[in-house]
Structure 1
Amino acid sequence: MSLRRSIRLYTPSVDPSGMGVHMLDLVAEFVGTADVSLMARPTHRARWLLDRAAESGARTVSLPSPRDPAFGGSIIDFLRDHPADVFHCHVGTGCENWDGVRLARAAGCPAVVQTQHLPYLVSHPRKRRAYHRAIEEVDRLIAVSDGVRRTYQRIGVPPERFVTVPNGVAPLARRRSREGARRALGLGPDRPVVLTVGRLTHMKGQWHLIDAVAGLVARFPELAVVLLGDGPLRDLLVRQAAALGVLGNVCLPGHRPDARRLLAAADVFVLPSRHKGMPLVALEAMEASLPVAATRVIGSAEVVEDGVTGALVRPGDPVALGAAVARLLADPALRRRQGTAGRRRYEARFTRARMAADTAEVYESVLAGAEVAA
């Protein structure tokens, strides 16, 4: 950005997760050249976002619930005191509350932008109508992958309203050694290790990976399958592994704030998701030079190059997933080759700097249009 812009990042999410990481990456890239604020609700799953944004140098605003009568005034008053060139809303599934967008428009923000982080999979007609009404106040919609963008076009959003800005991640600043990462997980230096990262939820599909473990253990008896993360399916996954007789090969360390540094312990990274927007963890695995075995779903299919940086398999097919992982475990040269190709693909397409630069181009395009209209 050639001018020092004022950018207000906003999310109504009570659990911003990967979306919050994306927002923090924009903060990190913009804060040196722009006046950056981040607005969010300080719920127990979102407080970290405000804290880390403040640590990165952004001004932060803790918002009340949209149901609170003070919600509208808190946004309007802030934007009056700190006028914005760009109000950038971040939402996930399309079911969140968009009052912030409407309030930003009422406050006179010249550029209102919204990023869709997940595909539109809501079928209820009333919710679809609500979505279309909500985006009337948005100048430009951003999708984190082409697959995400197509789901919104299928429900009637005009193609010209959308632009795709693929996700990106920063290079890891401090790496752990393979041996150090394995010690942190209580794993021996010679065990084959398959690792995945994510909330233990239905959307992430970890039970398909556990279904594949028995077949893998038959070929690789010392295999360790590590599921980093926590969530409502934890107990179910433990019971599933026990019922299959593979509990000794499955490791569930829970949520680890150092999860990205623990990627160094892995031989293969697996992403068995049922759907995604564009998975940051797959980008992080590629940055770590790991081959990625993933399901061929929205987002993942644009990250993993099948047969080059890893493998893509049909979602919900543990046999195919297990076969893809087995091929990689059995062939160290293939793992190295695909891991190196994944690192190159990350550097060429999925860096944080590229994502921020593309996002800034969207801002400037909208602002130029606003100047012409004025």
Structure 2
Amino acid sequence: MLPLPVLHIITRLIIGGAQENTMFTAALLDPARFDVEILSGPQTGSEGSLIAEVRARGIPLTILPQLLRQINPLNDLLALWKLTRLMRQKRYAIVHTHSSKAGVIGRLAARLAGVPVIVHTVHGWSFHDHMSPARRKMYVLLEKFAASFTDAMIVVAQPDIEKGLREGIGRPEQYHVIRSAIPLDEFDPAAVDRDAVRRELGLPPNAPVLGNVGRFSPQKNPLDWVRVAGEVGRALPDCHFLLVGDGPLRADVEAALVAEGIAERTVLTGLRRDVPRMMAALDVFLLTSLWEGLPRVIPQALALEIPVVANRADGTAEAIAHGETGFLCEPGEITELAGHCVTLLRNPDLRRAMGQRGREFVNREFDVRRMVVQIAALYEVLLEEPPRAEAQGGWN
């Protein structure tokens, strides 16, 4: 029997959690059962691009020039038309969408093309309380519309189900929690020479180091990160700081580091793909995001036995056991966040104990192979269900 054709659609193949999730899924699904392709828009950005890596993994990739992040009626209609035509030509058994723009246009195209199974992964909802009410309402309405012809919606954390249902998006039976997992073999603390990484970065071998890996964007809230780091730096004059990543707030971050008086003790690496090596230089990982699905950097840090201090934002509470593998605070509690960081940085035994518990937790919950098995199992269940009314006609 020939493998079933599957198309994953995502708006941008930037370096990010949703994109890596999509890439790993496409790469690791059983090729004897599923013939998987990815389609993406052309945009990248300061976050870097995964396009070359997707192609290097041998995953068939189509770039659709009209699939852009910004709302543009002409481009969006062209993208819809081209996607619908492609799906009719290729006769995909499953279309699986990711991200908000690709999620709406891709699912609508799949419905128009009569694709038998339509799946969407919510990597954190597109709407949140930090946008204008009008824009938020529009995003909710679009998500409700797309959910009405979606067979299954995968979420990475339980709070996303609760948030979606509160807004009237979909039905409870449509939702499935599947963690956005990581390749654990790449995040093995025994496989990284921490001292060598610190030498490479110019960090003192025995100094406490607080850090983060992520995009410098409003969602990730890096300016609060710097404020917390400033308080930590004043409490611990020997503490150093490591920021891995880039983004639109880079200049603001650099200015804030100077204002807090810690610029000379901070290393900014820019974009790096050797995330496990960079993380291994840290003693504590600090995350100040304002909204999230379930950020993959948390299991990445915990897999390396690094405790995490984070804002309590959506799925972060499912990734951190407060007082066991790290600490959680309400967004904006700068002094409280800093206090937890100082406690950990001063106490290597506590860090070690929390780190070991974190590694055990991630081994159970965040193995990428387990994630792909769960996705494949969901596909099989959906393929066996009676087709939706609009898909009854198949490919006629």
Residue 159 (structure 1) aligned to one of 172, 192, 196: 172
Alpha-carbon distance change, 97 to 288 in structure 1, aligned in 2, over 3 angstroms: closer
CA distance in structure 2 between the aligned counterparts of 1:28 and 1:48, rounded to whole angstroms: 17
Alpha-carbon distance change, 222 to 64 in structure 1, aligned in 2, over 3 angstroms: same
- Equivalent residue for 2:153? 141
- Equivalent residue for 1:22? 21
- One-letter code aligned to 1:151: K
CA distance in structure 1 between the aligned counterparts of 2:110 and 2:388, rounded to whole angstroms: 20
8 Å CA contact 1:194, 1:270 repeated in 2: yes
Residue 130 (structure 1) aligned to one of 142, 145, 150: 142
TM-score, reference length from structure 2: 0.86
- Equivalent residue for 2:39? 39
Tell which deviates more after alignment, 248-257 or 34-43.
Answer: 248-257
- One-letter code aligned to 1:165: I
- Equivalent residue for 1:302? 318
CA distance in structure 2 between the aligned counterparts of 1:361 and 1:191, rounded to whole angstroms: 47
8 Å CA contact 1:95, 1:127 repeated in 2: no
8 Å CA contact 1:289, 1:343 repeated in 2: yes
CA distance in structure 1 between the aligned counterparts of 2:38 and 2:350, rounded to whole angstroms: 43
Structure 1 runs of 4+ with >6 Å offset = none
8 Å CA contact 2:12, 2:42 repeated in 1: no
- Show CA shifts across 1:179-213 (max 9, x none): 12112222121111111011111211222222123
- Show CA shifts across 1:14-62 (max 9, x none): 7572211110110221154421100111223499334322222221111
> Please, what is the CA RMSD of the aligned residues?
2.4
- Show CA shifts across 1:146-167 (max 9, x none): 1122111111122222222121
- Show CA shifts across 1:226-250 (max 9, x none): 1111112222222222222222222
The secondary structure found in structure 1 opposite 2:49 is helix
Identity between Structure 1 and Structure 2 (%): 27
**Which residues of 2 match residues 31-70 of structure 1 at below 5 A?**
32-33=31-32, 34-45=34-45, 48-66=49-67, 67-68=74-75
- Equivalent residue for 2:341? 325
8 Å CA contact 2:103, 2:120 repeated in 1: no
**Which residues of 2 match residues 189-204 of structure 1 at below 5 A?**
189-204=205-220
Alpha-carbon distance change, 97 to 280 in structure 1, aligned in 2, over 3 angstroms: closer
TM-score, reference length from structure 1: 0.91
CA distance in structure 2 between the aligned counterparts of 1:355 and 1:190, rounded to whole angstroms: 37
CA distance in structure 2 between the aligned counterparts of 1:9 and 1:156, rounded to whole angstroms: 25
CA distance in structure 1 between the aligned counterparts of 2:340 and 2:17, rounded to whole angstroms: 26
Residue 194 (structure 2) aligned to one of 163, 175, 178: 178
The answer to whether 1:102 aligns with 2:108 is yes
Alpha-carbon distance change, 170 to 99 in structure 1, aligned in 2, over 3 angstroms: same
CA distance in structure 2 between the aligned counterparts of 1:71 and 1:215, rounded to whole angstroms: 48
8 Å CA contact 1:5, 1:35 repeated in 2: yes
Tell which deviates more after alignment, 224-233 or 26-35.
Answer: 26-35
Displacement of 1:99: 2.0
The secondary structure found in structure 1 opposite 2:62 is strand
- One-letter code aligned to 2:148: E
Alpha-carbon distance change, 103 to 337 in structure 1, aligned in 2, over 3 angstroms: same
- Equivalent residue for 2:354? 338
CA distance in structure 1 between the aligned counterparts of 2:266 and 2:48, rounded to whole angstroms: 31
The secondary structure found in structure 2 opposite 1:202 is coil
Alpha-carbon distance change, 50 to 218 in structure 1, aligned in 2, over 3 angstroms: closer
CA distance in structure 1 between the aligned counterparts of 2:48 and 2:291, rounded to whole angstroms: 26
